Structure 1
Amino acid sequence: MDKINLLIIVIIITLFVSLFLAFFLFTVKTKHKLSNSLFAIFLLLTALDSIDPLLSLVVKNPSNLGMLRTTFAFLQIPVFYLYVLSVCYSDFKLKSKNLIHLLPFLIVNLILLPRFYAVDLASKISFIQNRQNMIELQLIHILFHIQIVVYITAVFVILKRTKKLYLENNSGASINSYNWLFQFTSVLTILYLIALVKNIFKFSDYPYISEWIKIGIVPFQLIIICWYLYKALNHPDLFRNIDSKLKLVQDIISEEKNNDQKTTNEKEYNQELIKLKQYMAEEKPFLNPSLTIQDVSAAIQIPVRDLSLLINHKLEQHFYDFVNTYRIENAMNILKDVTKSKVTILEILYDVGFNSKSSFNTAFKKHTGNTPTTYRKSL
Structure 2
Amino acid sequence: MRKKPRNLSNIFLALLVFFFALMALNIALVTVLRSYDLFHLFRYVQLELMFGIGPAIYFYTKSITQPTFKFSRKELIHFIPVTLEFIFYRTSFYRLGADGLYEATPHPYTKIYLIEQWLGIISITVYTLLSLQLFFQHQKGLKKHYSNLEKKTLKWLRTPLLIYSGFWIGWNILTEIDRFAFDRAYKEAYFLPTFVGLAIVTCWIGFKGYIKSQVAPPTHATVKKTKFDSNSQHQALAKDITKLMSEQKPYLDADLDLSKLSELLEANPKQVSAAINQHFEKNFYEYINSYRVEAFKARMTQADSDKLTLLGHAFECGFKSKSTFNHVFKKISGKTPSDYVKQLKKESEKKQSVASQA
Q: TM-score range by the shorter chain?
A: 0.7 to 0.9
Contact 1:232 1:238 in 2 (8 A): no
- In structure 2, relative to structure 1, the CA distance for the partners of 1:33 and 1:329 (3 Å cut) is farther
> Which of 104, 122, 140 in structure 1 is aligned with 2:81?
104
Alignment: residue pair count: 332
- In structure 2, relative to structure 1, the CA distance for the partners of 1:349 and 1:145 (3 Å cut) is same
For the pair 1:76 / 2:57, whether they are aligned, the reply is: no
Letter in 2 for 1:139: I
- In structure 2, relative to structure 1, the CA distance for the partners of 1:235 and 1:331 (3 Å cut) is farther
For the pair 1:130 / 2:129, whether they are aligned, the reply is: no
Contact 2:144 2:223 in 1 (8 A): no
Cα distance in 2 for partners of 1:222, 1:146 equals 20
- Equivalent runs, 1:357-376 vs 2, <5 Å: 357-376=322-341
Cα distance in 1 for partners of 2:283, 2:336 equals 22
| TM-score, normalised by the number of residues in structure 2 | 0.77
Cα distance in 2 for partners of 1:228, 1:287 equals 36
- Equivalent runs, 1:126-165 vs 2, <5 Å: 128-131=98-101, 133=107, 134=109, 135-165=111-141
> Which of 24, 46, 65 in structure 2 is aligned with 1:50?
24
- Equivalent runs, 1:1-379 vs 2, <5 Å: 33-59=7-33, 60-61=38-39, 62-63=41-42, 66-67=45-46, 69-71=47-49, 73-115=50-92, 128-131=98-101, 133=107, 134=109, 135-174=111-150, 177-198=153-174, 200=176, 206-208=183-185, 212-222=189-199, 224-225=201-202, 228=205, 240-243=217-220, 246-249=222-225, 263-377=228-342, 378-379=344-345
Cα distance in 2 for partners of 1:128, 1:188 equals 24
- In structure 2, relative to structure 1, the CA distance for the partners of 1:367 and 1:176 (3 Å cut) is farther
Contact 1:334 1:348 in 2 (8 A): yes
| TM-score, normalised by the number of residues in structure 1 | 0.73
Cα distance in 1 for partners of 2:92, 2:66 equals 43
- In structure 2, relative to structure 1, the CA distance for the partners of 1:194 and 1:40 (3 Å cut) is same
Contact 2:44 2:90 in 1 (8 A): no
TM-aligned CA deviation for residue 163 of structure 1: 2.4
Letter in 1 for 2:100: N
Contact 1:365 1:371 in 2 (8 A): yes
TM-aligned CA deviation for residue 279 of structure 1: 2.0
TM-aligned CA deviation for residue 317 of structure 1: 0.5
Contact 2:12 2:60 in 1 (8 A): yes
Query: 3-state DSSP class of the match of 1:130?
Result: helix
Query: 3-state DSSP class of the match of 1:155?
Result: helix
- In structure 2, relative to structure 1, the CA distance for the partners of 1:235 and 1:94 (3 Å cut) is closer
Contact 1:198 1:213 in 2 (8 A): no
Contact 1:163 1:175 in 2 (8 A): no
Cα distance in 2 for partners of 1:78, 1:144 equals 11
- In structure 2, relative to structure 1, the CA distance for the partners of 1:367 and 1:45 (3 Å cut) is same
TM-aligned CA deviation for residue 48 of structure 1: 2.9
TM-aligned CA deviation for residue 203 of structure 1: 7.3
TM-aligned CA deviation for residue 152 of structure 1: 2.4
Q: Which has the higher contact order (CA 8 A, sep 6+)?
A: 1
Cα distance in 2 for partners of 1:370, 1:237 equals 38
Superposed CA deviations along residues 244-287 of structure 1, whole A, max 9, x for unmatched, are: x51454xx5xxx6xxxxxx3433222221121122223333323
TM-aligned CA deviation for residue 110 of structure 1: 2.9
Letter in 1 for 2:99: Q
- In structure 2, relative to structure 1, the CA distance for the partners of 1:166 and 1:197 (3 Å cut) is same
Query: 3-state DSSP class of the match of 1:246?
Result: coil
Cα distance in 1 for partners of 2:316, 2:6 equals 28
TM-aligned CA deviation for residue 136 of structure 1: 4.1
Cα distance in 1 for partners of 2:200, 2:92 equals 38
With 308-317 and 194-203 compared, the bigger mean Cα shift is at 194-203
Contact 1:77 1:148 in 2 (8 A): yes
Query: 3-state DSSP class of the match of 1:354?
Result: coil
Q: CA RMSD in A?
A: 3.6
Contact 2:13 2:209 in 1 (8 A): no
Which stretches in structure 1 are left out of the alignment for 5+ residues? 1-24, 118-123, 257-262
TM-aligned CA deviation for residue 358 of structure 1: 0.8
Structure with greater helix share of residues: 1
TM-aligned CA deviation for residue 158 of structure 1: 1.8
Cα distance in 2 for partners of 1:199, 1:151 equals 22
